[in-house]
Structure 1
Amino acid sequence: MPVFLRFFALVLLFSASLVRGENLNTTYITLASAVYEDSLISARDLQSHIDALLAQPSPKTLSAARDAWRKARVPYQQSETFRFANPEIDDWEGALNAWPLDEGLIDYVSDDYFHEMGNLGAQLNIIANPTIQLAGQEIDAREISPELIQSFHEFAGSEANVASGYHAIEFLLWGQDLNGTQAGAGERPYTDFVVDDNCSNGHCERRRQYLKAVTTLLVSDLEAMVARWQAGGDLHKKYSTMSEEAVANSIVFSIGSLSLGELAGERMKVPLEANSTEDEHDCFSDNTHWSHYYNALGMQNLFTGQYQRINGDSVGGPSLADFARKRAPEATEHLRRAMNVSVEKTQALVKAAEHKIKPMKFDQMIAEGNREGRALVMNAIDALVAQTTALEDLARTLGLGSENSDASH
């Protein structure tokens, strides 16, 4: 769509929202509902492709399941901008997107696998052991069910014991990425899921059970979150009764937390400084560049009050940008430009990683001595830092986050 037509469409959408009596509260609920519904839709699609893989394991069905996993990350990563101002979401999120994980908790690993020191669960290998002996106790793991997986998540109090969620599924579909900072992702063979004599690496039936159960758990967790944003749900009620200033404060807090501490810090700066592929977000699939980009896009979505659904429909309404522009036009424009740069710089990671002739994935970018790659990552980090500074300036101008704000977080 030409730029002028897109702008005209947004003007019409905003005008219609005013006629319907919508405000920042209703937009927040609309965007959250849409992005979690899309996450659920794409997770169900992933589930259907995993069922097809288990029904007929082959290179084709494994590849299709991997593609469905990548697509499932698109809406979910955009949803993370709702996480930080809402403890209800932040407490729930760990079961879906926690990382990095000690994959030895779940399945076989390489002989030189280096797990978190002191982690009692790092070598349990649930798939290989229907009965687990630990500290003089016997754990019955004969039936690999969603409930069993939940019981092992963050086992023994370690955040590295990630038993469920997107990254557990990712590990089962790709296996370990043993390429370090060289090209290549995980290369788990489809024969890890066959049930006859061609089974590779042993315990194929239990691996199949785990993959099916962990995907069922992902879908059920997303179903629960979708319900919370529907009329009658607790998060719907919460944001329906807030003042617009409180919603604005919530948006500022969430974007700021994701922008600086999480995305620029934990997900980019930490692996860059340590040259650590273990700290890469989507480390088994080499999908990290897309996850970073969609995090940045999700923040922009929330600021502008617009979200494009996976079916192509656009939803939105009055936004923080609209709320702020009337009160602080210069600071609002500064933040708008800074967000554009953040999206541009994270998109540069995607362009480099998806280059048709010489792709450079995130784990290659962070390699020691890779000046070009490290510059790309630092440019994205710098843009996110600048974005956060612009957000803080806007918040101060608006008086958000101060004692005078009635935000209840």
Structure 2
Amino acid sequence: MTKTFTRSLIAVALFSLPAVAQAATTKQDVVTHYADLAHSVYSDALTTAQTLDKAIAALVANPSEQTLSAAREAWKASRVPYQQSEVFRFGNGIVDDWEGQLNAWPLDEGLIDYVAKDYQHELGNEGANANIISNKKINVGNKEIDVAKITPELIADLNELGGSEANVASGYHAIEFLLWGQDLNGTDSGAGDRKFTDFVKGEGCTNGNCDRRADYLTASSQLLINDLQWMEKQWSATEAKNYRSELLAESADNGLRKMLFGMGSLSLGELAGERMKVALEANSTEDEHDCFSDNTHNSHYYNEQGIFNVYTGSYTRVNGEVLTGPSIHDLVAEKDKKAAAEIKAEFVQARAQLQTLVDSAEKENQHFDQLIAAGNKAGNALVNKSIMALVKQTAEIEKAASIIGVSNLNPDTADHQF
């Protein structure tokens, strides 16, 4: 028998074998992949924060229009993975307890630095005009606080000073304020316009205390990195006795409930409610998420992308690598293919609707703060349509939960009525 003929027989035999059935996706597979997704997202958030830190160091060392612009772009890039991480917040207490130090808003920026004379702060906030950068000691109530040496630890301790949630001293938005300054344009076009000379040490310094402003920015950046390093380790498969190990030791059903509750709560109470409905109904730029940089459209979009990621088990990393794996969508499809297609279609629609906010900002120069203006009927309608798309998406999240046997989901509405 020739070798060619032998190979032909083997090929025929292999071709004739019955197809091996693909193993069904298990609930535990989905929860494990969820932890992998979280680790990848937080790893990217850390990497982009480290890139931001380098850009801030360059700005502080050599203040110029170019280094300030580069730091601003690095800040925007750092928001892309971080905003996708917020879907892990509401279902996982360890994330929700930690999140405030990184992403609390809105903030009374007068706590940190100089502000306009007509600055409107939260009523009753005794720290609203403390101006840490211009003072080495501040007084809040009957308490005098030494702020001469600005460190990451000091900044962390000053959060919610005097018991006010508006006293946000750290995180992405404190850094955003220091890079852009106040947005004094209201609902007109334009973001904050801080000059690079606010960081020039010695002659040429504008608005005083440039050395302390640089110290505050540097320390805030380091604190952000420290916090992200801690959370990245909580989801790492190579760390012992971390949150990931606790999550995977629980029942898979409980893990799925955390996933679905996190998705639903971000979709409904937080994004549709706190971040969009509140600002729209009050026509309030103070309630805009990234209010200093006018980057709100991207923050909203990437929140939605994070929800989409968890449902589909996919995530595109900042280096372009695409992570995929077992998903809630797979579990739904194994129970009901028709329902799975309908549910995913609503996710696709919600993401497309949030993209219209991005398009409005980038193609029409109509940013979120302009869309929510009292007289902007078309803009209001666009934002409201986005809110309703998120409400519909939340209903589909609840439907998916029911199909795969997760009951009593009740995503957080943040006391909003839709």
Q: TM-score, normalised by structure 2?
A: 0.89
Q: Tell me the distance in 1 between the aligned counterparts of 2:140 and 2:393.
A: 48
Match of 1:211 in 2: 217
Q: Give the partner amino acid of 1:348.
A: T
Match of 2:312 in 1: 304
Query: Aligned match of 1:58 in 60, 64, 83?
Result: 64
Match of 1:397 in 2: 403
CA deviation after TM superposition for structure 1 residue 137, in Å: 3.2
* 2:253 is aligned with 1:225: no
Q: Tell me the distance in 1 between the aligned counterparts of 2:222 and 2:394.
A: 37
Q: Tell me the distance in 1 between the aligned counterparts of 2:320 and 2:241.
A: 26
Are residues 183 and 16 of structure 1, via their aligned partners in 2, closer, same or farther at CA, if it must alter by over 3 Å? farther
Q: Tell me the distance in 1 between the aligned counterparts of 2:310 and 2:22.
A: 19
Please state whether the residue corresponding to 1:138 is helix, strand or coil. Answer: strand
Cα deviation digits, residues 28-63 of structure 1 (max 9, x gap)? 111000000000000000000000000100000000
* 2:332 is aligned with 1:324: yes
* 2:138 is aligned with 1:132: yes
- Retained in 2: the 8 A contact 1:77–1:294? yes
Q: Tell me the distance in 2 between the aligned counterparts of 1:111 and 1:333.
A: 55
CA RMSD of aligned residues (A): 1.9
Q: Give the partner amino acid of 2:261.
A: F
CA deviation after TM superposition for structure 1 residue 212, in Å: 0.3
Match of 2:84 in 1: 78
Q: Give the partner amino acid of 2:36.
A: T
Query: Aligned match of 1:341 in 349, 352, 355?
Result: 349
Match of 1:30 in 2: 36
Query: Aligned match of 1:113 in 119, 128, 131?
Result: 119
Q: TM-score, normalised by structure 1?
A: 0.91
Q: Tell me the distance in 2 between the aligned counterparts of 1:49 and 1:327.
A: 49
CA deviation after TM superposition for structure 1 residue 144, in Å: 0.4
* 2:66 is aligned with 1:45: no
Please state whether the residue corresponding to 2:125 is helix, strand or coil. Answer: coil
CA deviation after TM superposition for structure 1 residue 325, in Å: 1.6
CA deviation after TM superposition for structure 1 residue 269, in Å: 0.6
* 2:295 is aligned with 1:280: no
Cα deviation digits, residues 342-373 of structure 1 (max 9, x gap)? 10000010011001xx4100000001121221
- Retained in 2: the 8 A contact 1:30–1:316? no
Q: Tell me the distance in 2 between the aligned counterparts of 1:243 and 1:272.
A: 40
Match of 1:189 in 2: 195
Q: Give the partner amino acid of 1:279.
A: D
CA deviation after TM superposition for structure 1 residue 16, in Å: 10
CA deviation after TM superposition for structure 1 residue 106, in Å: 0.3
- Retained in 2: the 8 A contact 1:267–1:279? yes
Are residues 342 and 284 of structure 1, via their aligned partners in 2, closer, same or farther at CA, if it must alter by over 3 Å? same
Q: Give me the identity figure in percent.
A: 53
* 2:362 is aligned with 1:354: yes
- Retained in 1: the 8 A contact 2:102–2:172? yes
Cα deviation digits, residues 304-359 of structure 1 (max 9, x gap)? 0000100000112100111122123343322211110110000010011001xx41
CA deviation after TM superposition for structure 1 residue 24, in Å: 0.8
Match of 1:87 in 2: 93
Query: Aligned match of 1:122 in 112, 124, 128?
Result: 128
Are residues 87 and 276 of structure 1, via their aligned partners in 2, closer, same or farther at CA, if it must alter by over 3 Å? same
Give unmatched runs, 5+ long, in structure 1.
Answer: 1-14, 404-409
CA deviation after TM superposition for structure 1 residue 228, in Å: 0.8
Match of 1:4 in 2: none
Q: Tell me the distance in 2 between the aligned counterparts of 1:148 and 1:17.
A: 53
The number of equivalent residue pairs is 387
Q: Give the partner amino acid of 2:148.
A: R
Are residues 253 and 369 of structure 1, via their aligned partners in 2, closer, same or farther at CA, if it must alter by over 3 Å? same
Are residues 135 and 248 of structure 1, via their aligned partners in 2, closer, same or farther at CA, if it must alter by over 3 Å? closer
Match of 1:11 in 2: none
Are residues 152 and 17 of structure 1, via their aligned partners in 2, closer, same or farther at CA, if it must alter by over 3 Å? farther
Give unmatched runs, 5+ long, in structure 2.
Answer: 1-20, 410-418
Are residues 244 and 130 of structure 1, via their aligned partners in 2, closer, same or farther at CA, if it must alter by over 3 Å? same
* 2:208 is aligned with 1:202: yes
- Retained in 2: the 8 A contact 1:328–1:398? no
CA deviation after TM superposition for structure 1 residue 105, in Å: 0.4
Match of 2:374 in 1: 368
Q: Give the partner amino acid of 1:360.
A: Q
Q: Tell me the distance in 1 between the aligned counterparts of 2:173 and 2:188.
A: 21
Q: Tell me the distance in 1 between the aligned counterparts of 2:324 and 2:138.
A: 50
Q: Tell me the distance in 1 between the aligned counterparts of 2:136 and 2:347.
A: 50
Cα deviation digits, residues 111-149 of structure 1 (max 9, x gap)? 000100011111111001101233343211110001110
TM alignment of 1:94-109, pairs within 5 A? 94-109=100-115
Please state whether the residue corresponding to 2:335 is helix, strand or coil. Answer: coil
CA deviation after TM superposition for structure 1 residue 246, in Å: 2.1
Q: Tell me the distance in 2 between the aligned counterparts of 1:166 and 1:16.
A: 44
Please identify, of 149-158 and 277-286, the stretch whose mean Cα deviation from structure 2 is larger.
149-158
- Retained in 2: the 8 A contact 1:24–1:320? yes
Match of 1:245 in 2: 253
Are residues 69 and 161 of structure 1, via their aligned partners in 2, closer, same or farther at CA, if it must alter by over 3 Å? same
